[in-house]
């Protein structure tokens, strides 16, 4: 790709980007959110057209106007969200949209045979006759890769492929990717996880603000350098955790059971305790009851059995309003749905939980002067990048929106904090900041329950780590003794060893 | 990052580029252009027709007064719609709430006709307000506690209100003179003159119009300056986040339906006290309301669900109704054309609203 320029109204998403991939190479594309990675790949895959620049494939200039063009040219893309039909089998999904070798008759037996061949060559273990909805996330991803290979992809784009996988699944995926590269395929690996980029890629291209900052061989790169290139300044990759004197038990869960949205038990007897000044990390692959756990504590889901105690009081079944008055703060997993009102201003979002209390209201009337100075103070204290406190929240980046949630929750001086996926989809500099804030809150004596799928985050912040699997706590380990290996096994359901 | 965002969150409905803020106006002009084509097909000179319309709506002090009188119930209903829609409930029950308020005020006005004006008028208005609140509140309770879709329930309640009105006007509330004379026209006796709302100028314009404008200001203050209004708006924009923030979502949805109904009910009371001085029916709702319960929704949407924007929007629709009647007389178009023209404006306005929202979403998506 040469001199690619793509403009959106008010934004230069790609600014004269040169990018090349060699045959048999794994080339990582690294950058913060909004750096232009996805735009560039969408151009390559025919979803956008570049305003300037050209794409050369095997030395020949090509015009890619649609994903169909891209597929014909041997370009495949594995999206972050899988594009599979859950009610169809693996073979049916692979065959979907392709002409049959028998005209109007289905040729699933041919497809099945070919899938088996591909599986063997690349080590992609998948049963072609299995229904997609029965497959684990890692297996579904393998189906996506098979789909692309089946369509003859020589160049494969993987958009943050590890975001949904356990460490073991990541290792398997990496083995497959190396095998594919060995067979001569070219791979573009999009990520913002530095250690993955370092372990899998041959070369790295770092994007920042729509420009290529640098392309370098991975063997010459270090974590610190990549982070610096990505952000444009020195970044603290590990936060300093000074020892904190543990206090009383602030949050205690006793044999908690709850149903999920589909009516099946999502929590099956969870018992945990978090002390003042402690961060308890909950690790696990998503969908193992973490969301339900957070919602039960926050009063948004009624447990079917068991008890929640905050500060020694039984708060089971309390309304969210009562809980937040009792000192509970909650950073929800889906911040746009549960955390903020996107059509409210920054200021209005900052007082979402306090607007009826003094000094923000007298009687039923709101005190806009007080609210404004409060909002300005939080914007400054929490380094929220916004044109003004009156700006609509929806115009802000994900990291800044999360800082607004953080500012609102932490300035309530919580006794107990439930932080669910606090840095998901947040760029590296905002992540650094949020981590520092959570650690600072720990030093103030808040009891924090940190739920995250990011093992690095869990290991980095937690004092103790509990692993959840299928609604149960598989085990609790001390952070100093925990290893990625061991946690990964526990996340897959193996009990503490 | 977006620059140049105007100050003053509470004035947000007014900001954004002026060009896009005026889309409803362009939509109206477009609708009138399509109407012009229809007029041509009917063999009528559109210029002549539209000039009759303008002079019918604004040409004299009487015309202007009639326009404002027609705009008044639209404004009452529209203000209720502002509250309800901002609270995330689609209140389609303006007709029923108008009727409920009017019937209740009528019953009080007829039975306490010996009371002095300073007592009976506020009482009638209060009763109308409460009756509308109850009528909206029924849908509110059904939604909040039984999860009944408010669109369905408010439409059903419209029908119930109309049949209730028909029953009362053909029975207990029927003018005794009619019964005696054996003519059985379904209407009440004229109220005692003590219940007449004061006239502002020597036209049909009555104090109810001023009350509506005052209420528009109050509703604006309510929605953007009070904690209750803040909560209603939060619930309407994001019920999940509101619940997580400790707001009782069901209660505030119910409240927005109650308040929306109350304002429409007050509008009904104002109609009988200020304009008709009696209640009557032709068997349907529109006979009494003139479709204000539905046109008020359009007026509110036209005013971008802002109480102050609903004032000019209501006047515009009032003018359309009054002017169209004049046009009908002047150029002899069928009355169904007037209905069609009204419908065209509604379709174009609603359509332009969808377009400008989509545009707003696109602008955000690319940020």
**CATH number assigned to the domain comprising residue A43:** 3.40.50.300
CA-closest candidate to residue B195, choices B207, B185, B213: B207
Last residue of one domain, picked from the residues A231, A259, A286: A231
Least confident span in A100-104, A421-425, A438-442, B303-307 = A100-104
Q: Mind telling me how many Å the CA of B6 is from chain A's nearest CA?
A: 8
Minimum-distance CB partner of B7 among A341, A356, A388: A388
Searching chain A, which residue's CA lies closest to the CA of residue B222? A365
| Of residues A322, A337, A388, nearest to B240 (C-beta) | A337
Distance CA A24, CA A155 (A): 9
Residue B21: pLDDT band with limits 50, 70, 90 = low
Range from A81-90, A406-415, B101-110 carrying the lowest mean pLDDT: A81-90
In this predicted structure, what is the pLDDT of residue B359? 67
Give the DSSP H/E element, type plus range, for residue B6: none
Q: What residues of chain B lie within 8 A of the CB of A347, using their CB?
A: 9
Put simply, the answer to whether B246 touches A320 (Cβ < 8 Å) is yes
Is residue B11 over pLDDT 60? no
- Is position B32 within any domain? no
pLDDT in tens, A161-206: 887 777 778 888 898 899 889 888 899 998 877 888 898 999 999 9
- pLDDT, position A10: 64
Please say if the pLDDT value at position B365 is more than 50: no
| Helix extents (H) in chain B | 18-21, 23-41, 46-58, 61-86, 94-111, 117-146, 150-170, 176-181, 207-225, 227-237, 239-244, 249-270, 286-289, 292-302, 307-331, 335-365
The residues with which A217 forms a beta bridge, in sequence order, are: A203
pLDDT of the residue at A496: 54
Considering only CB atoms, A394 lies closest to which of B242, B246, B364, namely B364
Residue among A323, A341, A385 whose CB faces B241 most closely: A341
B366–A388 CB contact, under 8 Å: no
Q: Per the domain annotation, does B119 fall within a domain?
A: yes
Nearest CA in chain A to B10: A390
Which of A187, A186, A172 is CA-nearest to residue A124? A172
Q: Note down the domain range covering A73.
A: 2-231
Question: A78-82, A272-276, B109-113, B115-119: which has the highest mean pLDDT?
Answer: A272-276
B47-86 pLDDT, tens per residue? Answer: 998 999 899 889 888 889 999 999 999 999 999 999 999 9
Question: What is the C-alpha to C-alpha distance for residues B109 and B115, in angstroms, rounded to an integer?
Answer: 9
Minimal Cα distance from A323: which residue of B?
B246
CB atoms within 10 A of CB A302: 11
Chain A interface includes B9 (CB < 8 A): yes
CB A468 within 8 A of CB A293: yes
* Buried residues in B260-297 as b, exposed as e (16+ CB within 10 A): bbbbbbbbbbbbbbbbbbbbebeeebeebbbbbbbbbb
| Angstrom distance (rounded) from CA A1 to CA A44 | 8
* Whether residues A185 and A71 fall in one domain: yes
- CB–CB contact A391 B243 (8 Å): no
- My answer on whether A210 and A277 are in the same domain is no
Are residue A313 and residue A197 in the same domain, yes or no? no
B316: in domain: no
Token look-up 């707003």 returns B360
A337·B12 Cβ contact <8 A? no
CA distance linking residue A240 with residue A236, whole number of Å: 9
CB A294 within 8 A of CB A333: yes
Is a pLDDT exceeding 60 seen at residue B13?
A: no
Does residue A353 share a domain with residue A397? yes
Chain B from 227 to 246: CB within 8 A of any A CB: 227-228, 230-231, 233-234, 237-238, 240-246
Q: Rounded to a whole number, what is the distance in angstroms from the first to the last CA of chain A?
A: 50
Contacts of A179 (CB under 8 A, 6+ apart): A121, A122, A123
Smallest CA-to-CA distance from A28 within A271, A305, A215, A288 is with: A215
Q: Is position B322 within any domain? A: no
A265 located within any domain: yes
Residue pairs spanning A and B at CB distance below 8 A: 104
Is residue A197 included in any domain, yes or no? yes
Q: How many CA atoms within 13 Å lie on the side-chain side of A442?
A: 28
With vertex at residue A320, the alpha carbon angle to CA A319 and CA A324, rounded to the nearest 5 degrees, is: 120
Q: Are residues A35 and A90 in the same domain?
A: yes
Whether residue A424 sits in one domain with residue A296: yes
Measured CA to CA, the distance from residue A208 to residue A34 in angstroms comes to 8
> How many domains in chain B?
1
Q: How much is the pLDDT for B75?
A: 96
Question: Which residues of A touch chain B, with CB atoms under 8 Å apart?
Answer: 8-11, 298, 300, 319-325, 330, 332, 337-345, 347-348, 352-353, 355-356, 361, 364-366, 368, 385-388, 390-392, 394-395
- Domain total in chain A: 2
Inside any domain, residue A443 = yes
Q: In this predicted model, which residue has the larger pLDDT, A265 or B180?
A: A265
On chain B, the residues whose CB falls within 8 A of the CB of A366 are: 225-227, 230
- List pLDDT tens digits, range B187-228: 888 888 888 888 877 788 889 999 999 999 999 999 999 999
A338 → closest Cβ in B227, B237, B240: B240
Range of the domain at B208: 76-290
Q: Best mutation site among B221, B231, B245, B362 for testing chain A: the one with the most A CBs within 10 Å?
A: B245
Using CB atoms within 10 Å of the CB of residue A130, give its burial: 0 to 12 exposed, 13 to 18 middle, 19+ buried: middle
What's the confidence (pLDDT) of residue B83? Answer: 96
CB contact under 8 A, A395 and B225: no
Q: How far apart are CA A480 and CA B259, in angstroms?
A: 59
Q: Which of B173, B79, B164, B175 is nearest to B129 (CA)?
A: B79
Could you tell me if A176 and A77 lie in one domain? yes
Query: Quick one: pLDDT at residue B9?
Result: 42
Boundary (domain end) residue, out of A205, A231, A257? A231
Asked, for residue B108, whether it belongs to a domain, the answer is yes
Q: Which positions ≥6 away from B311 have C-beta within 8 Å?
A: B75, B213, B216, B303
Tell whether B307 is covered by a domain.
no
B240 vs chain A: nearest CA distance in angstroms?
Answer: 5
Mean pLDDT of all residues in A137-156? 86
pLDDT, average across residues A219-235: 83
Please give the mean pLDDT across all residues of chain A: 87
Same domain for A320 and A172? Answer: no
Cα–Cα distances in Å, from A103 out to A98, A161, A361? 11, 35, 72
Prediction ipTM score: 0.81
| Average pLDDT of the segment spanning B340-344 | 85
CA distance B9 to chain A (A): 5
Are B1 and A338 within 8 A, CB to CB? Answer: no
CB of B157 within 8 A of CB of B138?
yes
Same domain for A222 and A81: yes
A121 and A37 within one domain: yes
Average pLDDT, chain B: 86
Query: Looking at residue B96, what is its pLDDT?
Result: 94
B325's tokens: 């009647």
Query: Both A151 and A214 in a single domain?
Result: yes
Cβ contacts (< 8 Å) between B366 and chain A: which residues?
8-11
Highest mean pLDDT (candidates A422-431, A474-483, B259-268): B259-268
Q: A11: which chain B residues are within 8 Å (Cβ-Cβ)? A: 366-367
Nearest beta carbon to residue A348 from set B4, B9, B248: B9
A390:B8 CB<8 A: yes
Do A20 and A124 share a domain, yes or no? yes
Cα atoms in the Cβ-side hemisphere of radius 13 Å centred on B123: 16
Q: Would the CB atoms of A319 and B248 count as touching at under 8 Å?
A: yes
CA distances from A143 to A96, A129, A148, A167, A170 (A): 12, 12, 9, 19, 15
């Amino acid at each position: 790709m040469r001199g690619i320029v793509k403009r959106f109204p008010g934004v230069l998403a790609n600014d004269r980007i040169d990018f090349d991939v060699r045959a048999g190479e794994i080339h990582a594309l690294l950058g913060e959110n909004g750096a232009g990675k996805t735009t560039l790949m969408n151009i390559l895959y025919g979803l956008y057209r570049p305003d300037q620049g050209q794409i050369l494939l095997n030395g020949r200039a090509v015009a890619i106007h649609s994903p169909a063009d891209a597929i014909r040219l041997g370009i495949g893309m594995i999206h972050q969200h899988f594009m599979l039909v859950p009610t169809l089998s693996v073979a049916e999904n692979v065959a979907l949209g392709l002409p049959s070798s028998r005209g109007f008759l289905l040729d699933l037996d041919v497809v099945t045979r070919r899938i088996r061949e591909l599986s063997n060559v690349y080590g992609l273990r998948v049963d072609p006759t299995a229904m997609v909805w029965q497959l684990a996330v890692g297996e579904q991803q393998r189906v996506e890769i098979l789909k692309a290979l089946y369509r003859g992809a020589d160049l494969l784009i993987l958009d943050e492929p590890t975001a949904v996988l356990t460490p073991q699944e990541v290792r398997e995926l990496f083995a497959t990717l190396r095998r594919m590269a060995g067979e001569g395929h070219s791979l573009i690996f999009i990520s913002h996880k530095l250690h993955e980029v370092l372990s899998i890629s041959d070369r790295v291209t770092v994007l920042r603000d729509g420009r290529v900052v640098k392309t370098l061989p991975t063997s010459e790169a270090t974590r610190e350098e990549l982070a610096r290139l990505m952000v444009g300044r020195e970044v603290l990759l590990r936060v300093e955790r000074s020892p904190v004197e543990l206090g009383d038990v602030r949050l205690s869960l006793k044999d908690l059971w709850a149903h999920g949205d589909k009516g099946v038990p999502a929590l099956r007897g969870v018992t945990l305790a978090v002390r003042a000044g402690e961060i308890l990390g909950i690790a696990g692959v998503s969908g193992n009851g973490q969301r339900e756990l957070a919602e039960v504590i926050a009063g948004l889901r009624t447990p079917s059995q068991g008890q929640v105690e905050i500060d020694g009081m039984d708060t089971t079944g309390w309304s969210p309003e009562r809980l937040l008055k009792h000192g509970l703060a909650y950073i929800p997993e889906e911040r746009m749905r549960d955390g903020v009102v996107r059509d409210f201003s920054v200021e209005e979002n900052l007082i979402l939980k306090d607007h009826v209390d003094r000094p923000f209201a007298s009687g039923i009337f709101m005190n806009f002067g007080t609210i404004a100075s409060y909002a300005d103070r939080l914007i400054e204290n929490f380094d929220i990048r916004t044109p003004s406190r009156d700006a609509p929240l929806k115009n802000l980046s994900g990291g800044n929106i999360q800082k607004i949630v953080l500012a609102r929750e932490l300035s309530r001086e919580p006794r107990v904090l439930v932080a669910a996926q606090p840095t998901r989809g947040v760029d590296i500099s905002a992540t650094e900041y949020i981590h520092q804030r959570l650690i600072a809150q720990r030093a103030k004596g808040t009891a924090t329950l940190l739920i995250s799928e990011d093992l690095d985050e869990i290991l980095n912040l937690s004092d103790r780590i509990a692993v959840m699997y299928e609604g149960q706590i598989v085990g609790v380990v001390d952070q100093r003794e925990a290893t990625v290996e061991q946690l990964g096994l526990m996340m897959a359901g193996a009990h503490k060893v | 990052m977006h620059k140049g965002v105007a100050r003053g969150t509470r004035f947000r409905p007014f900001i954004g580029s002026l060009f896009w803020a005026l889309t409803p106006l362009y939509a109206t002009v477009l609708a009138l252009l399509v109407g012009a084509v229809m007029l041509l097909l009917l063999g009528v000179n559109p210029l002549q027709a539209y000039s009759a319309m303008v002079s019918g709506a604004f040409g004299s002090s009487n015309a202007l007064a009639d326009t404002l009188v027609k705009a008044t119930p639209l404004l009452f209903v529209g203000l209720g719609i502002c509250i309800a829609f901002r609270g995330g409930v689609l209140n389609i029950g303006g007709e029923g709430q108008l009727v409920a308020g009017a019937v209740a005020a009528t019953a009080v006005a007829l039975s306490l006709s010996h009371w002095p004006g300073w007592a009976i008028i506020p009482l009638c208005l209060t009763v109308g307000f409460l009756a509308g609140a109850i009528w909206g509140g029924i849908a509110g309770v059904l939604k909040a506690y039984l999860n009944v879709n408010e669109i369905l329930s408010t439409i059903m309640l419209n029908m119930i209100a109309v049949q209730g009105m028909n029953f009362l006007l053909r029975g207990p509330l029927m003018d005794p003179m009619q019964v005696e004379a054996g003519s059985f026209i379904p209407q009440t006796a004229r109220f005692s003159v003590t219940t007449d709302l004061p006239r502002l100028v020597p036209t049909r314009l009555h104090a109810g119009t001023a009350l509506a404008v005052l209420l528009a200001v109050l509703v604006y203050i309510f929605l953007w300056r009070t904690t209750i209004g803040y909560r209603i708006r939060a619930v309407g924009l994001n019920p999940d986040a509101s619940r997580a923030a400790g707001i009782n979502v069901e209660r505030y949805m119910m409240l927005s339906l109650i308040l929306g109904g109350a304002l429409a009910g007050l509008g009904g009371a104002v109609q009988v006290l200020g304009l008709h001085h009696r209640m009557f029916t032709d068997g349907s709702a529109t006979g009494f309301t003139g479709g204000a319960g539905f046109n008020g929704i359009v007026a509110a949407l036209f005013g971008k669900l802002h109480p102050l924007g609903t004032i000019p929007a209501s006047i515009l629709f009032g003018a359309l109704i009054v002017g169209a009647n004049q046009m009908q007389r002047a150029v002899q178009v069928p009355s169904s054309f007037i209905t069609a023209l009204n419908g065209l404006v509604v379709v174009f306005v609603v359509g332009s609203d969808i377009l400008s929202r989509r545009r707003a979403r696109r602008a955000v998506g690319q940020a």
